[in-house]
Every structure is written in C-alpha cells, then in structure tokens.
Amino acid sequence: MEHTSAVTVTAAAPKEGGSKHPGKAVIAGGISGAVEILVMYPTEFVKTQMQLQKKQTTPKFQSPIHCARVVVQEKGFFGLYRGLSTLLIGSVPKAAVRFAAFEEFRKLLQPGQELFKGSKNFGAGLLAGITEALVIVTPMEMVKTRLINDQNSAQPRYKGLAHCVTTVAREEGIGALYKGLAPTIVKQGSNQAVRFFVFNQIKDYATANNYSFGPAQSALAGAIAGAASVAANNPIDVVKTRMQGLEASQYKNSLDCFFSILRKEGPLYFYKGVTPRLARVTGDVAIVFTLYDIITKALDKVWITN
C-alpha cells in the first residue's frame, strides 16, 4: 500500500502528537489556493451572478451556461474574472488561517473527548471554518460579491479592488465589509466540518482496507467531500450572497433575507447557482488537496524540519 499522502496527514488527518510545519502549510496552501482560484474562478463568478438574480418572468440569465455566454459576449472572456483579485490576494492568508487553526483545534480535541468516530475532524474543521470566516473570508467575499454585482449596473462604480474597498468603507463604514458575517460563519464552518469529516472517512476506509491513497485518490476524495458540503449548505450560500450584494439594504438581517427569499421566490431558489458552485467546489477541493500534497513533498526535500 502506498504511504498516505502529505495532504492527508496535514490538511485532513495529522498524525497524533505532531503536525506539518506551519510555514510549509502556509506556502503549500497559499500556492494551491492561488492555482485553484485561477482555474476555477469563472464558475464562482457565474454562481454569484445566478444567486444575485432575483426571480422574474424573463431573467437576464436563463442558466449557468447562458450566463457565461452573455458575460463573454458583453464583457469579453476576462469578464468572467471580475472580482478575481479579491480572492486571489486573500488566498494566502485564508490558507494560513484555515490550516493553522485546524491543526491547533485538532490538537485540543483529544481522543477521549470524541463523541463519535471522526468527530475530531468534524469539530476541528467547524472551528477552523468559523475562524477563517471571522479573520479573512467575510470581507473578501463581500468585496468579491460587490465587484461582480457592480458589473451588472449600467454604469459600474468600482474601478477595481482597492477602489471598491475604499468606497464601501467611506460611504457605508468599515463595518460594511463584514456584511453577511453570520451566514458566512455558518457557511465556512459547515463547509470545513463536512469536508474534513467526509475526506477523512474516505481516507480511513481506504487505509483500513489496504487500498492505495495517493494523489489521484486524494483528489477523488476531495471532490466527494466538496460535493457533500455543497449539498449541505447551498441555501446558506445564497443568503450570504444576497446579504453582500448591492441591494442588501432591503433585508433587515440574514433571517429576514432567508424568509423573504422563501416567501417571494420559493424554496427551490435556495439552490440557485448550485450547478456552477458544485463545479467550483468539487474542483476546488480536488485541486487543493492534490497540489498541497505535491508542494509539501517538494518543500520537505529542500526545507528540513522536525
């Protein structure tokens, strides 16, 4: 049987009593995250556009594919990358917070405290997701959503990332960068809890049955874990997107947004944009897990640590 991949040990199931060097985790996670965003961002863009679009008789975008086609026709291919800079710049600190927090929380959740098999990974993932939402993800997602939403305006206001941040802070206050905080915390917490739990359950099964678990298997397990998280929390993602859009002021809070969508647009609308999000998330987790493994192994050869 092949040796368990580095990503499995570090990102998903660190060995008891030790963890990957934090510097390596930051570098490998940051590079992996940056590559993933460059490859998969158009699916994130389309997902956000579909979620921002309200229910109407003749919507501008008929489907995710139609949305991508219209954007390319009107804005060119790189129109699908509007708002990319926010996620790209935020990928390194987000990776640093996620991996460092997961490692530390997992150490705190000792075996004797587990309520059920795998709960350590679930709990550490939940707490790591909440931490990254508080530290970096909420303002990053808010600015990304504003930039995408602004592109739909007849006369876009924001010239870029820096202009968007300064304009929002000046006109709405610094706190506006944390609009949608509650649903983002729920989304990120549930994302990481489900992903780390599902990934490790698959890994544990493969290990227990003497199956190989190299990069290809890690990518497949990551894709499955990503799909599970989408199924679990897409409604939360829709509420988060609406609360961070240009028309968020029409909602009193996240709960008001939730019930407004439910009442006016129906329960199925909570899965608006699920197709491009599913493509993005499955690709995201698969790419990051695989690249993380490769980069970490390369770093181990040139950067010797205990």
- Per the structure, the count of domains in the chain is 1
CA angle 72-75-79, nearest 5°?
Answer: 75
Q: Is 15 helix (H, G, I), strand (E, B) or coil?
A: coil
pLDDT of residue 112: 57
159: in domain? no
| Stretches in the chain below the pLDDT threshold 70 | 1-20, 22, 110-118, 306
Domain that holds residue 110: 6-75+87-132+179-302
pLDDT of residue 19: 56
CA angle 274-31-183, nearest 5°?
Answer: 35
Q: With the C-alpha atoms ordered 206, 211, 214, 217, is the resulting torsion angle positive or negative?
A: negative
pLDDT of residue 235: 92
31: in domain? yes
Q: How far is CA 219 from CA 13, 111, 150, 283, in A?
A: 15, 27, 35, 9
* Cα 230 to Cα 123: distance, rounded to the nearest angstrom: 18
**Is residue 34 exposed (0-12), middle (13-18) or buried (19+ Cβ within 10 Å)?**
middle
Which value, to the nearest 10 degrees, does the dihedral of the CA atoms of residues 297, 299, 303, 304 take?
-10
pLDDT of residue 5: 41
Provide the token pair at 8.
């499995």
Tens of pLDDT, residue by residue over 80-119, are: 998 888 778 887 788 778 877 887 788 788 665 555 556 8
pLDDT of residue 144: 86
142: in domain? no
Q: What spatial distance separates the first Cα and last Cα of the chain, rounded to whole Å?
A: 25
Q: Is 122 helix (H, G, I), strand (E, B) or coil?
A: helix
* Cα 205 to Cα 208: distance, rounded to the nearest angstrom: 5
240: in domain? yes
CATH number at residue 49: 1.50.40.10
pLDDT of residue 68: 93
Provide the token pair at 122.
């679930």
157: in domain? no
pLDDT of residue 10: 41
